[in-house]
Amino acid sequence: MNEGDRVGDRRLLRRELRTSRATPAVVVAVVLLGAALGTAAAAIWTTDPSGASLVQDGAVAVRTAWEEPSWRAAAAAVAGIAGIALIVLAIAPGRRRRHGRGGARVELVVDDGLLADAAAQAVARHCALAASQVSATVTARRVRVRIRPISGVPVDRAGAADAARGALERMGFGIRPVVTVDAKGVVA
Amino acid sequence: MSAAAAHVAGPALRGRTTLTARALHRLAVGIVASASGADPREIALRWDDADGGLHATVTLPLRMGTAAGQTLQEQGASVRTSLVTGMAERAGRRVDGVDLRFTGVRREDARRVR
Amino acid sequence: MSSSSRILNRVLLLLAGLIAFVGALFAARPLLPERLFAPWWPPVQRAIDDASHAVSSWSTPWAAADGARIAAAAGGVIAAIALIAFLLTRRRPRTRTVLRFQDRTGSTAVDETIADAVLTEPFRHRSDVLSSRMQGYRVAGRTALRLSVVPRSGADLPALLAETERGVERWDALSGTRTPVVVHFADRGGFDRLRSATRTR
């Protein structure tokens, strides 16, 4: 694989692992479009005296509301919250709930839920427990396994951790396991 | 094929071979079908004039399992060549260009199910 | 979506957020303690006043419009055009043609349905796959393929991966090139949410 392919791999993976923020951007664009067209329309209408009255009534209403402190506070609060939310959306990385890795021929992307399933299955098999007694969650860098033991039967934590890690390594992902065992067990 | 009757061998005879547009179409579809192994009913073909020459735009399904080892490029080139040669031999028409498109796949077992 | 397209999305969100936030500050000015605004507000206020005076002095001979209205109408129209252009470019860059070979006598094109058939064929009859789908898209000037597979719960993922690699090998032989391929093993229900693997088998 030459250098050009490598760079392409990274770009392919990045595309799959981060949200594009397209939906919020489109929503914002539509809202702004409405505002822009409304402003232009209002400005053009008021040049013609007959159409002016409706817009002027509206303008008067807005102006009186502008003087009212409670209205201003409400408007400011809404705008402030929306503004902060949009800025956060713009800046936050937006990691999607999946893991990706390059490979010899294909780039592999697996949803975190499937990785969790695989880890939980492997742990349940290793510890000879029912599937309902093992639950797993995959986050950005960890796989958190939670075991509800059988009362009276000790749980091999190290073995469980190895099983979880191994299941994910078989797919080519190196994710560190964290195993917690519930204090309360199931009686048989 | 009706158009085969228009093929003349030996010394050239005077006169013109006139083919209706429909005959031209059917001839071409037949050539493509036999070259590609596809069903004639699934071949879409359009003739255009390109600066005095004939230009074909063809859409046809791919037959899986044929010519194992031949790449798509080779299969496409072979069908295009067959069409150009066939039109020259049978209709005396010079084809300047063929744009071919493989779309959809014809499964071998699908015919048996029908 | 290309990376510059994605950046544009975020830029728009940032701009809108800043406008909203600044608008909020502006609206709340008389309600908030003066100390917050004292250091930097007066020059900003002056700039705004100068701008509005400059705009008001414009006028057109053929309409009884003052400069503010002209500015509002022009600004609105320009912004609307820019936003419409932005919205029109939000289409996902799908391609129906995944391969194209051109030479003197014409061209041979391959539709994505062919790649779909070749790549999803190993999964069509497997009981451990709920659905599979292939889409072509353009990235960095090249055509890439994304194969999405939704496995049944409890499926053996490494085995499915081996199957996809076999399908890709067949495609490579058929296409004569190595098209970039992304294999996506997706969760059921079409959502990315975290799910715990608690289920009865």
Residue at which a domain ends, from C88, C114, C147: C88
Chains that touch C (3 or more CB pairs under 8 A): A, B
Q: Summarize pLDDT for A99-114 with one digit per residue, the tens.
A: 999 988 999 999 999 9
Residue at which a domain ends, from C32, C54, C88: C88
Q: Does pLDDT of A156 surpass 70?
A: yes
pLDDT score at B62: 87
A2 vs C165, residue with greater confidence? C165
Cα C32 to chain centroid, rounded: 39
Domain region containing C186: 97-190
Domain assignment present for C116: yes
Residue at which a domain ends, from C88, C118, C134: C88
Q: Which residues contact C140 (CB under 8 A, 6 or more apart)?
A: A7, A8, A11, C2
Cβ-contact C182, C147 below 8 angstroms = yes
Quote the minimal CA–CA distance from C105 to chain A in Å.
31
Domain assignment present for C201: no
Please classify residue C29 by burial: count the beta carbons closer than 10 Å to its beta carbon, then call 0-12 exposed, 13-18 middle and 19+ buried: middle
Q: Which of C166, C156, C161 is nearest to C184 (CA)?
A: C161
Chains that touch B (3 or more CB pairs under 8 A): C
Q: Summarize pLDDT for C55-113 with one digit per residue, the tens.
A: 666 655 555 556 667 777 888 899 999 999 998 888 777 778 888 998 888 899 999 99
Domain assignment present for C144: yes
What is the Cα Rg of chain A in Å?
A: 28
Domain assignment present for C196: no
Provide the residue type at A43 as one letter. Answer: A
* pTM for this model (two decimals): 0.77
**Do residues C79 and C142 share a domain?**
no
Total CB pairs under 8 A between chain B and C? 66
Q: Summarize pLDDT for C105-126 with one digit per residue, the tens.
A: 889 999 999 999 889 988 888 8
CB atoms within 10 A of CB C196: 17
Q: Which of B2, B69, B7, B79 is nearest to B37 (CA)?
A: B79
Domain count within chain C: 2
Q: Which of C96, C174, C177 to mutate to test binding with chain B, by most B CBs within 10 Å of its CB?
A: C174
Rounded CA-CA distance B28/B95 in Å is 11
Q: Summarize pLDDT for A57-110 with one digit per residue, the tens.
A: 777 777 777 777 777 888 888 999 999 999 999 999 889 999 999 988 999 999
**Do residues C38 and C75 share a domain?**
yes
**CB of B53 within 8 Å of any CB in chain C?**
no
Cβ-contact A70, C28 below 8 angstroms = no
Q: How far apart are the first and last CA of chain C?
A: 39
- List of chain C residues whose C-beta atoms are within 8 Å of the C-beta of residue B80: 105-106, 108
- List of chain C residues whose C-beta atoms are within 8 Å of the C-beta of residue A34: none
Rounded CA-CA distance A159/A148 in Å is 15
Reported confidence tier of residue B114, pLDDT bands at 50, 70, 90: very low
Test C3 with A11 for CB contact under 8 angstroms: yes
DSSP codes joined into one string, B44-91: EEEEEEETTEEEEEEEEEEETTTTTT--HHHHHHHHHHHHHHHHHHHH
Test A79 with C23 for CB contact under 8 angstroms: yes
Q: What is the mean pLDDT of chain C?
A: 81
Q: How far apart are the first and last CA of chain A?
A: 54
User: Beta strands of chain C (E only): which ranges?
Assistant: 97-103, 106-111, 129-139, 142-151, 181-185
**Do residues C102 and C177 share a domain?**
yes
Domain assignment present for C185: yes
DSSP codes joined into one string, A58-123: HHHHHHHHHH-HHHHHHHHHHHHHHHHHHHHHHHS--B-SEEEE--SSEEEEEEHHHHHHHHHHHH
Test C72 with A42 for CB contact under 8 angstroms: yes
Cβ-contact C120, C28 below 8 angstroms = no
CATH code of the region B18-109: 3.30.70.1350
Structure ipTM over 0.85, yes or no = no
CB atoms within 10 A of CB A183: 7
Mean pLDDT for the stretch of residues A34-54 = 76
**Do residues C104 and C172 share a domain?**
yes
Strand order in the sheet with B44-50: B44-50, B53-63, B95-106, C106-111, C97-103
Domains of chain A (ranges plus CATH)? 19-91 (no CATH), 98-181 (3.30.300)
Domain assignment present for C199: no
